[in-house]
Structure formats: C-alpha cells, structure tokens
Amino acid sequence: MKSVYLDNAATTQVRKEVILKMQEALANSYGNPSSTHSFGRTAKTAIESARKTIAKQMNAFPSEIIFTSGGTEADNMILRCAVSDLGVQTIITTRIEHHAVLHTVEELHKKGSVNLHFVNLDEDGNPDMEHLQRLLAKDDSKKLVSIMHVNNEVGNKVDIHAIAVLAKNHGALVHSDTVQSIGHYKWDVKETPVDFLAAAAHKFHGPKGIGFAFIRKNSGMGCMISGGSQERGFRAGTESFHNIVGLEEAFVSAYANLEEEQNYVADLKHYFIQQVKKEIPGARFNGLSENMDHSTYTLVNVRLPVQPEKAMMLLFHLDIKGIACSKGSACQSGSDKGSHVLSQILTEDEQKKPSLRFSFSIYNTKEEIDYTVMVLKEFMVQ
C-alpha cells in the first residue's frame, strides 16, 4: 500500500539535520541551562545562540524571543497576560481563529475580564477592514487586535501589515497567531508593527513541543508560569534544550532554502488544483485556498460533490488507501462538530458536502498527488 502524507498543516516531517542536532544535544549537552558549571553553561550558551538566530532573521531583539511549548502556549501567554498585566479591556478578533485564540478570548470574556468583539468577514473569510476600523474607534478602552496571518483550515493570507498599521493608528496592541506562517514566509517585526506573535517548530519541519512567542521589548508583559527566572522571567521551568536546538536548526534550514522550497511546494499545490478540476467536476475550493496570491502556498481546502450519507466514509477510505489528510484543524479531527471556519463562509447546503484539507511540503511529489486524485475520483464513482 502506498503511503502519502498530505497533512502538513497539522504537523511536518522532521528534517534529518534537525534529528541529528537533537540527538547530539541529548547525548552530549545534558547539563541544566540554569546551572553555573561548565555543563550548564554549554547548554545555556546554545539556547542563547538559538534565540539570537531567530531574532536576527525576524529583525527582532533576542530578548523579544521567548521559548514556549508551542503555538498554543504562546497564544495563551500573550492573550492572558495582555489582560492581566497590560490592562487590555477589549479584544477584537475573528470567528475563524485557531481555537488556541478563540477559546482563550471566550473564556476571558465569560469571566468578565474583557470585552470581546468579532470582525465581520467577507464571503471568502477575510476580515472587513471598515468594520475593524469602526470597532477600534468604538470607545476609549484599551484594545488588543488578534488576527492570524494564515488561516490553518482554508489558507487565507490576510494583510497583517495593514491590520497592524490600522490598529496602531488607534492606539491598540496587535497579536497574530503566525503558526502557519513563520518558517514559510519572511517576517520583519520592525517593518510590520505587531506587538506579539506565536510560532511552532513542528509546522516547519522541526520537533513537536517547542515554539516561541515574540513579545515586543518594554511591553510590560509579565509571566504566566511562575517558579523560576528562565526565559527572562516570562516562563519558569527548565528549558527543553534539545527541542530548542532542534527548533533553531529547522528555522535556519527553512530560511536558508526558503525561495526554492516555496516554489517547489507552490508548484505542487497548483498541480493539485489543476488535477482536481480536471478529474473531479463539481469540486470547489473553500475560502481563497485556490487563489495562489491570496492564500498560503502550503494548503488547499476542497469541497467534494458527495452526498452526506456517503461523505462520512471519505476520510476512512483515504486512510485505507494510505493517504493522510484532514477534514479541518488536526486539533478538531476527533470532534463530531463541523468546522467553525467553514461554518462562517459556507451555506448550510455547502456544509453538507465533505470538505478536506490537503497540505503539502518539500517531501511530497506530483506522483503522490496523481495517486490521491485517482483515489478521490474512484470514491466519487463507487
């Protein structure tokens, strides 16, 4: 049986050089980074080197990079501490954010800690800038705008620079979940005036369980996890040293080969779209995922002309054929609920048809796409 992995938006294959770097760290650099002896200093030096590497690429200060367990923790830290430490009274976001953001802001609102407003979306799922401006001008409360750069389900790529500039013109703080973005697009935090970002290594061929938050210097942000002085006091706890050096290696590799790998993966996505249109009449692409200019080059979300009673077997059929994809966010794949993203941009009838997310990486081939489209086509006619 073939084995085709097209769920790279959920997680990616770890690069071989990353594995080797982590193995070396586990075998030879086992000192506690907080210890003052040579073993500890060796580990600490490597952590600070990783911090500087990431900061330099993003045009940030090293002190602005805080290592976390991943994007979810980074989002939680930023949103919760913005309210508790920075006095944010109003959060403005969208209904198609990752649940790491949505569930957090909804909880804060439910507890009475913050006012919560959702920006209107157009039919493709992009935020209405005029509505955002009205929400920003609505009152004098201290505001934070939290809008993701690349949507993890439909791939829409918003103009985060324009959003950040608009928010700053109204005195608001800006946070963006860039988990599907960092490692795939260049970022310059001096050019784009965001205050906070969240990233995860496993989305760009690094290890799971490690990521980072960008927290603008002198923001006044406090810690969410207490108990030690690690990570400039932002996040207590012994650093996951082997994961941090793995993150650095994945980050360096991603940006060293960025243009070449972008072109390769974008070509795969374009080919997939062409083949689906050719072989499966009636298939439609959700959001802007078909648009190569306004969506990420890494994924598509396709709605298939399958009756609801048959649709429930589609993912099972693909899995039996060795094909891995997703019906939405991997975080929600075990849920019976439909996609909260698609519910905002599709009609009820459209939502009854199965939608699948296929996401690509440098480890995929056109032969794998041909096989996947053939399996989908066979399912259509069964």
Per the residue annotation, which of 81, 223, 325, 331 is the catalytic one?
331
331 is catalytic: yes
Dist CA 291 CA 297 (whole Å): 9
Sheet holding 284-285, edge to edge: 284-285, 299-303, 355-359
- C-alpha separations of 43 from 37, 63, 66, 161, 201 in Å: 10, 17, 16, 36, 19
What letter would DSSP give residue 149? S
Which value, in Å, is the radius of gyration of the alpha carbons in the chain? 21
Alpha-helical runs (H) found in 111-209: 129-136, 160-169
The three-class DSSP label of residue 116 is strand
Neighbours of 233 (CB within 10 A): 12
Long-range CB pairs of 129-136, under 8 A, 24+ apart, other chains included: 129/162, 129/163, 129/166, 132/92, 132/163, 132/166, 132/167, 133/166, 133/170, 135/92, 136/92, 136/166, 136/167, 136/170, 136/172
Q: Which residues face 68 on adjacent strands?
A: 211
The three-class DSSP label of residue 161 is helix
Dist CA 365 CA 186 (whole Å): 24
Q: What are phi and psi of 46, to 5 degrees?
A: -65, -40
Dihedral over Cα of 14, 7, 252, 101: its sign: negative
List, in order, residues 6 or more apart from 288 with CB less than 8 Å away.
124, 125, 126, 154, 155, 156, 157, 294, 295
> Which residues are annotated as catalytic?
331
